[in-house]
């Protein structure tokens, strides 16, 4: 509901208009740029609100079908970046607290490289099969 209200303000369109030069005009550049923007956006704003906003931009990309897949992949894998990237991460860390303490940087030490590697591998597969 809040995201729909935000969409009605025109802010998502204004954000896209501002970012369009960064995304580029070629599908491959758009793929990588949307990927990393989605990983960051999903961790800053949370996956669902980010997807609801960014999903409104997809038809403007060179290959919308590919970009839907990229958005899904990147926002899903983004959840591995930090503890707060996914509710499941927070549940596991909280449940494990009795046995061990997992801090933000303890988690990020593994979450960051895992997110980068799996995201790169996934995007390469999407680009190969498009």
pLDDT value of residue 65: 98
Range of the domain at 114: 2-129
How far apart (Å, rounded) are the C-alpha atoms in residues 37 and 20? 12
Tell me the pLDDT tens digit for each residue of 5-47.
666 777 878 888 888 888 999 999 999 999 999 999 999 999 9
- Number of folded domains that form the chain: 1
Q: Which has more confidence, 1 or 129?
A: 129
Whole-model pTM: value is 0.87
Give percent above pLDDT 90 in the chain.
Answer: 82
pLDDT value of residue 1: 54
């Amino acid at each position: 509901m809040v995201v729909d209200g935000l969409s009605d303000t025109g802010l998502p369109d204004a954000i896209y208009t501002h970012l369009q030069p960064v995304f580029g005009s070629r599908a491959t550049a758009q793929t990588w740029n949307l990927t990393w923007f989605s990983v960051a956006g999903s961790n800053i704003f949370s996956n669902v609100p980010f997807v609801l906003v960014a999903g409104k931009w997809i038809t403007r990309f060179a290959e919308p079908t590919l970009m839907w897949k990229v958005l899904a992949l990147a926002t899903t894998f983004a959840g591995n970046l930090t503890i707060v990237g996914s509710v499941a991460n927070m549940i596991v860390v909280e449940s494990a607290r009795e046995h061990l303490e997992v801090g933000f940087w303890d988690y990020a030490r593994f979450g960051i490289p895992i997110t980068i590697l799996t995201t790169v591998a996934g995007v390469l597969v999407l680009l190969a099969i498009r």
